[in-house]
Chain A
């Protein structure tokens, strides 16, 4: 069972359009990680958020962690075909955790 809920499960976006993926937990998140996975491959680390209200950006991808540290969003601006893949959020659910708990992933398709 997944203790992190991701939404939507999948989405199709036109190239050049923006998209947002959400990751929600009923528990406080002690460290939130976003990864990207292409089918048949491993997870590529994108960004890490630790503090409530924190926001980070890299190229056209922005990730935020809410003040209560129970929800994170990943926003992609002006999507490109290279953004297609499965986006996974992972988090530590306890203050002394070392193992990541993951959401089920969001599959992103970018249409030319």
Chain B
């Protein structure tokens, strides 16, 4: 596709359930990022992939959060045993090449996760 595609757009889950959020980056983009955006705040970094390698997961809030990108394209962010504080918008971004600051990160529309 032309842009970063995320699904589902909205997800409602009960506390304790597991959820999986999908990101399909722009074709050919090497770098893929996940960010978490709380209401009224800017996005906060969660994790970063270069191709299939997860190079940084320092922003993941707990070990209930897990991300993968097995073939270097589509990525999945999984949250186990969801808690109410996990409610947020989860944004995926991709960029062409790591380390070149003239290549902006392009964002998807996000998945709005609500935990009841």
Contact = CB atoms under 8 A, between A and B. Distances in A.
B interface bracket (residues with beta carbon within 8 Å of A) = 20 to 34
Contacts of B56: 98-99
A35 B108 CA distance: 13
Given A40-B112, A43-B91, A99 B104 contact: no
A50 B103 CA distance: 11
Interface in A1-28: 2, 4
A105 B59 CA distance: 20
7 contacts: A2-B41, A40-B112, A43-B43, A45-B107, A99-B33, A100-B35, A102-B43
Interface of B: 4, 6, 31, 33, 35, 40-45, 48, 56, 59, 91, 93, 98-99, 101-102, 104-110, 112
